[in-house]
Amino acid sequence: FVVDKANYRHFMAKEIHEQPEVVGHTLARYLDMASERIALPMKLPFDFKDVQHLSITACGTANYAGYVAKYWFEQFARLPVEIDIASEFRYREAPLRSGDLAIFISQSGETADTLAALRYAKEQGLHTLSVVNVPTSTIARESEVVMPTLAGPEIGVASTKAFTCQLTALAALAIAAGRARGTLTDADEAKLVHGLIELPRLMAAALTHEPQIERLARDISKAQDVLYLGRGTSYPLALEGALKLKEISYIHAEGYAAGELKHGPIALIDEKMPVVVIAPYDRVFEKTVSNMQEVAARGGRIILMTDAKGAEEATVDSMVTIMMPDMPAAFTPMVYAIPVQLLAYHTAVVMGTDVDQPRNLAKSVTVE
């Protein structure tokens, strides 16, 4: 069937705006809203209690969704996770234990390296579970368990709504793992599930900052390089922010763990380099503030994505704040993804690039 842009200028804009709704659909698939429990619609052919090690493999944006999920599986389920880029996982001869679980994440379900990694994991006797947006895809067909994301067709080459839906499905699975392994109590689960249920509302609130982000994008469009910093689950989101910006605006960008600033990227900072800091007020916030002070001391311009408490605590010069809603720490990546995506989108619009079909990129990479 035909997907149109509705009243949006680009598919990417439409897809960014659809996120509260499609994340809501994905949540409805994996949890029971009334009892505030995870309710997976599929039967798992393994018990999370028997899984000693989890490997998560994907490419591009899907890989960053996996990277965020690593924090959740480790925190909620106390399950060690290794995150891999599909083209590395296949060839690096990782010691794998038959009976462990390998998760594959793919919007299209056709990415050649991810598919090859899935086949490799099966050969090694691992259980395989895939988080895919196209349920008829090859990766979905060949996986033991499939968790569809209900993002709907994604047309823009740069992934947006598939990413937040992948995060949503993975969050539900990580909570289910925590329950099965006895590392989350019923009360913990209810609290986390409640946090998930709030997401569509919070994401809609994040979208209201678009006019401010559009103005900031004019500044970003003049930059040659942009640095994205974050800690914890905001670190993979910083990687995703940098990827999004370079994919569609062709401005060079790098994502870094904020704590690594001193180990290299600080050498690049001057008044010409915008630094986007993704920092909800959480237990590592103070550490990120000191990184921001280091940036400011070198004349760097900071765009801080934070909440009210964070804005109050961050006392740094030359800083613009994009104010996100207050929310529990666990699921900030789904909400902070929105300003990250909007900033890349509007920068690309200012640059006049082909936002939905950026040069040299393909929506689905079916060759190795």
Q: Which residues are catalytic?
A: 363
* Residue 340 Cβ vs ligand G6P, minimum distance, rounded to whole Å: 14
Among 60, 230, 232, 265, binds ligand G6P (CB under 6 A): 60
Torsion of CA 269, 270, 272, 275, to 10 degrees: 40
Beta bridge partners of 321: 304
At its nearest, how many Å lie between ligand G6P and the CB of residue 163?
8
DSSP per-residue letters across 173-230: HHHHHHHHTT-S-HHHHHHHHHHHHTHHHHHHHHHTTHHHHHHHHHHHTT-SEEEEEE
Q: Rule CB under 6 A: is residue 364 a binding residue for ligand G6P?
A: yes
Span of 8-16, 105-113, 175-183, 214-222 interacting with ligand G6P by CB under 6 A:
105-113
DSSP state of 17: H
CB of 62 to ligand G6P, least distance (A): 4
Q: Is 13 in the site for ligand G6P (CB under 6 A)?
A: no
Question: Does residue 157 belong to the site contacting ligand G6P (CB under 6 A)?
Answer: yes
> Could you tell me if residue 299 is left (phi over 0), alpha (psi between -120 and 50 degrees) or otherwise beta?
left
The smaller minimum CB distance to ligand G6P, of residues 308 and 361, is found at: 361
> What is the C-alpha separation between 36 and 39, in angstroms, rounded?
9
Select 307 or 356, whichever has its Cβ closest to ligand G6P.
Answer: 356
Residue choice 62, 171, 213, 337 for contact with ligand G6P (CB under 6 A) = 62
Taking the least distance from each CB to ligand G6P, the nearer of 210 and 247 is: 247
| Among 19, 26, 57, 114, interactor with ligand G6P by CB under 6 A | 114
Torsion sign over Cα 154, 156, 157, 163:
negative
Task: Compute the half-sphere exposure of residue 51: CA atoms within 13 Å on the CB side of its CA.
Answer: 30
Using CB atoms, what's the residue nearest to ligand G6P? Answer: 60
**CB contact at 8 A, 115 and 139:** yes
Shortest distance in whole angstroms from residue 158 CB to ligand G6P: 6
> Which of 55, 106, 288, 306 forms a contact with ligand G6P (CB under 6 A)?
106
Q: List the Cα angle 169/171/177 in 5-degree steps.
A: 105
Task: Considering only residues 188 through 247, tell me which ones interact with ligand G6P, judged by CB under 6 A.
Answer: none
Q: Pick one of 270, 361, 366, 368: the residue that binds ligand G6P (CB under 6 A).
A: 361
Question: Please, which residue, 158 or 213, has the CB nearer to ligand G6P?
Answer: 158
Count of H helices and E strands in the chain?
14, 12
CA angle 359, 364, 367 (to 5 degrees): 95
Region of 24-32, 100-108, 145-153, 316-324 interacting with ligand G6P (CB under 6 A): 100-108
Q: Which stretch binds ligand G6P (CB under 6 A): 25-33, 104-112, 209-217, 275-283?
A: 104-112
Of 151 and 327, nearer to ligand G6P (C-beta) is 151
Q: What does DSSP assign to residue 53?
A: -
Angle formed by the axes of helices 60-77 and 234-249, to 10°?
170
Residue 59 interacting with ligand G6P (CB under 6 A): yes
**Strand pairing class (81-85; 101-106):** unpaired
Which residues are registered as beta bridge partners of 157? none
* Cβ proximity to ligand G6P, 297 vs 361, nearer residue: 361
* Interatomic CA distance for residues 178 and 105, integer angstroms: 20
Least distance from ligand G6P to the Cβ atom of residue 63, Å: 8
Largest CA distance in the chain: 55
Which of 108, 143, 234, 341 binds ligand G6P (CB under 6 A)? It is: 108
Binding site for ligand G6P (CB under 6 A): 59-62, 106-108, 111, 114, 157-159, 361, 363-365
